[in-house]
Amino acid sequence: MDPYKIRALLETVQRGETDVDTALEQLRALPYTDVGDFARLDTHRALRNGLPETVFCQGKTPEQVAAIMERLWSAHERVMGTRVVPEMADFVRARLPEARYDATSRLLTLERGARPALPADAPYAMVVCAGTADLPVAEEAAQTLAFAGQRVERAYDVGVAGLHRLLGELPRLQAATVVITVAGMEGALASVVGGLVAAPLVAVPTSVGYGASFHGLSALLTMLNSCAAGVAVVNIDNGFGAAIFAHAVLRSITR
C-alpha cells in the first residue's frame, strides 16, 4: 500500500464515507504480506522509502515472479521487476497484460495512469555510458529513474578512447544534479567525469571487456581507486542500485 492509497483511505474516513473497522481491514496488509511459501512482500516500503518494493527476478521462476508482481500490483500504483529475460516477461504479461517490458534494460513495469509531465527546468540525473555494449546497464539505471518519477538525461558511447565525445556533453554534465557513469573495460570514465563535475557521482562498473577485465572486476577496482575525489561506486552491473542512489539525491532536494 502506497502513501497515495493510504491518504485517500484516511480522507474517506474523515468524510464519514468509510467506517473505522473497514479502514482497519484494508490496512491489515501493512507492513508485509505472504505470497505462498516463497515470498514475504514489504508492502510498507513505499511509505518509508518513497518507492514500492522492486522484484529482483533473476533466480526466480516465472510463476513466482508473476505471483509476486500480481500481489504487489494489487497494493501499489506502480510495480517494477529487474533482470527479466524475454521468456519470463512473456509469461508474466500473459497474466498481467498491462505490464510493459523493455528488452534492453530487462525491466518489467506496471503503472496506473499517466503521470504529469516534469517541468523543463526540473533537476535531473545524467546517465553517461562508455560504449554501446554498456547500454543494458545504463538503460536499467535510466529507466529506473524514470519509473521513480525523475527527469533523466543520457549521453551514450562517450568513453575515454575518444575523449572529445565526452567533452561535447560538458554543458549538460555540469548542469546535472547527479551523474551516473557506466563503463566496463578499464573503467576510467568515472575518474574523468569525476574531475569535470561538482555534482554527486555514482559509478557503475560493467562486466564488459576481454579476459583480463575479469567480468567487471578490473573496472570495479579502477572506480574504487578513482583519482577524482568523492566518487561513489556500486556493484558490477548494478544500474538499478545506482539509480536508487541518484533518486535519493534528487528526492532529498525536491522534497
175 found inside a domain: yes
Cis ω before 31 (30° cut-off from 0)? yes
Of residues 96, 88, 2, the one with CA closest to residue 47? 2
Q: What is the pLDDT of residue 118?
A: 86
Q: Which of 80, 111, 142 is the last residue in one of the domains?
A: 111
Q: How many CB atoms lie within 10 A of CB 189?
A: 30
Q: Are residues 130 and 31 in the same domain?
A: no
Spatial strand order of the sheet with 100-102 comes to 55-56, 78-82, 107-111, 100-102
Residue 143 in grid coordinates: 529507466
* Residue 191: CATH number of its domain: 3.40.50.1970
Residue where the block lists cell 512482500: 41
Separation of alpha carbons 50 and 220, rounded Å: 29
- In this structure, are 234 and 171 located in the same domain? yes
The answer to whether residues 47 and 64 touch, using CB atoms and an 8 Å cutoff, is: no
Residues 201-253 pLDDT 10s: 999 999 999 999 999 999 999 999 999 998 999 999 999 999 999 999 998 88
Pull the grid cell for residue 97: 497484460
Structure confidence at residue 28 (pLDDT): 59
Residues 179 and 82 in one domain: no
Q: pLDDT by residue (tens digit) across 163-211?
A: 999 999 999 999 999 999 999 999 999 999 999 999 999 999 999 999 9
- Which of 58, 85, 111 terminates a domain? The answer is 111
- The reply to whether 154 and 69 lie within a common domain is no
Residue 82 lies in a domain: yes
Please give the single-letter amino acid code of residue 153: E
- For residue 249, being part of any structural domain is answered with yes
- From the list 226, 178, 228, the residue with the least C-alpha distance to 199 is 178
Query: Residue 5 corresponds to which amino acid?
Result: K
Residue 118 lies in a domain: no
In this structure, the answer to whether residues 23 and 81 fall within a common structural domain is yes
What pTM, to 2 d.p., does this model score?
Answer: 0.84
SS3 assignment for 108-124:
EEEECCCCCCCCCCCCE
Lowest-pLDDT choice from 19-23, 26-30, 41-45, 238-242: 26-30
**Count of structural domains within the chain:** 2
Confirm whether 213 is domain-assigned: yes
Q: Domain of 220?
A: 124-254
Q: Residue 89: which of 111, 106, 112, 67 has the closest Cα? A: 106
State whether 133 and 249 are in the same domain: yes
How many angstroms separate the CA atoms of 150 and 246, rounded?
9
